[in-house]
Amino acid sequence: MHNVGVIGAGPGVRALHVPTLGSLTDDYRIVHVADAGGGRAEGVARTVDARWSGSADALLADPAVDIVAICTPPATHAALILAAVAAGKRAIFCEKPLAVSTEELDAVLRVCAANDVVLVVGTNHLFDPAWDRVKQHLDRTRARVLSVSSTVALAPNDRYHALVADTVPAAVPEPRPPIDLSDPIMSAAIVRQLLTGLAIHDLPLVRDLLPEFESVEFGRAVAPIGYDVGIRAGGALARLSAVMLPAGADSRWRFTIVTTHDRVEIDFPPPFVHVGSARVRVRDEAGRVTRFPVVDEDGYQAEWRSLAEILRGERPMEYDELEADARFAIALADAAADVVRRGAAA
C-alpha cells in the first residue's frame, strides 16, 4: 500500500484522481491534499479522510507521503518534481505535460534518474488498453502509416465534473485580457499552450507511429479557442485540430490512423469520466468493419496501475521514453508557435 499526497485540489482532482485512486485501494490511499490556490484542499481531503494543507511545502514535508501526485498548472510541474525529489519522495505521478521547455525537461530527468525516483506522466490515452490493441493490430498487418489525425471538440469540463463528483466551488479567476486571434503574438502563445496542455493527450500516440518530428506544415489558432496544425513526422503527415466550445454538443475526441491496409478510428471517452476503454473501429480495404471489445479499465486507472507495477519491479522505469515523448511535444509546439507568429505556412 502506497500513501499518496496530492498537490492540487481543482475540480479535476475531485472528479478524476480521487475516484481513480479509490478504485485501486489495494495499491493506494490518499493521505494528504495540498492546494495553494482556491482553498479547496480541505473539502477534497475530507472526502477521503486525509490531511490537508495550504502549500506544497507542507505536503512534501509530511513523512507519511511516499508518492506525490502533481495536479497543478503545467508551468509548475518541473519545479514541483524537483522539490519532491529533494524531499526524498520515492515516486511521482505528474499530470501532463512533464515540462514546458527543454531546460526544464533536462533538469527533471537528470535529477529523477540520479535519485532512482519513479516517474509516471498522466498521458491517459497512451495508457488506454485500446491503444495497445491498436498497436498490436498495426504490427500484425504490417501496414505502413500514411496519415494520422487528432480531432477534438470539447464541451466545458464542468459538464463532466458534475457527472462524477459533487459540485466544487470554483475560485474566482483573475480577469484575463480579451483574446484577439488577429494578433500573431497572442495567437502563437495560445497555440503553443494548447499543444502542450491539450494536444499532449495524443502526441505520444503520434510519436509511437511517427517517431521523428520533421516540420510544421501549417498552423493557426481557431476561434473561439483552439488550434489547427499540420505536421510532417516519420515520413507521413499528421493533423491536430481542436476547438473548445462554451456550449453545445458533448465532447468528441477521435484519433484516426490511415494505413496502406485500412482506416482505424479511436474514439476516446470525454475527459474526467470512467466509462471504460476507448472505442475502436477498423475499416479494411474491402469495406469490412471490425470493432474492438471495450474493457472496463480506462487510461486513468491504467496509468496509476502502471506506477504500482514499476514500484513492484514488474515494469521497467523508462526515462528515455518519457524524454522522447516530451522532446517531440516541445519541438512541435515551438515550431507551430513560430509558424503562427510569422502568419504563414512554414
The 10s digit of each residue's pLDDT in 92-126 is: 999 999 999 999 999 999 999 999 999 999 999 99
pLDDT tens column, 192-211: 999 999 999 999 999 999 99
Looking at the chain, the whole-number percentage of residues with pLDDT higher than 90 is: 85
Lowest mean pLDDT among 108-122, 153-167, 185-199, 243-257: 153-167
pLDDT tens-digit profile of 38-54? 679 999 999 999 999 99
Among 50, 100, 95, 90, smallest CA distance to 66 is for 90
Confidence of residue 245 (pLDDT cuts 50, 70, 90): confident
Task: Locate CATH 3.40.50.720 in the chain.
Answer: 2-121
Q: How many CA atoms lie within 13 A of 318 on its CB side?
A: 11
pLDDT of residue 34: 98
Which CATH number describes the domain made up of 126-298+324-342? 3.30.360.10
Task: Yes or no: say if 171 and 38 are a contact pair by the CB < 8 Å rule.
Answer: yes
pTM over 0.85: yes
Q: Where in the chain is the domain with CATH 3.30.360.10?
A: 126-298+324-342
Q: What is the pLDDT of residues 259-286, one digit of tens each?
A: 999 999 999 998 888 999 999 999 999 9
Q: For residue range 288-332, what is the model confidence (pLDDT) as tens digits?
A: 999 999 999 999 999 999 999 999 999 999 999 999 999 999 999
Helices of type H across the chain: 11-12, 18-22, 41-47, 56-60, 77-86, 102-114, 124-127, 129-141, 157-164, 184-197, 203-209, 299-311, 319-342
Residue 296 pLDDT: 97
Reported as a pLDDT band with limits 50, 70 and 90, residue 158 is: low
With bands split at pLDDT 50, 70 and 90, how would you rate the model's confidence at 250?
Answer: confident
- Pick 2-121's CATH classification: 3.30.9.10, 3.30.930.10, 3.30.70.980, 3.40.50.720: 3.40.50.720
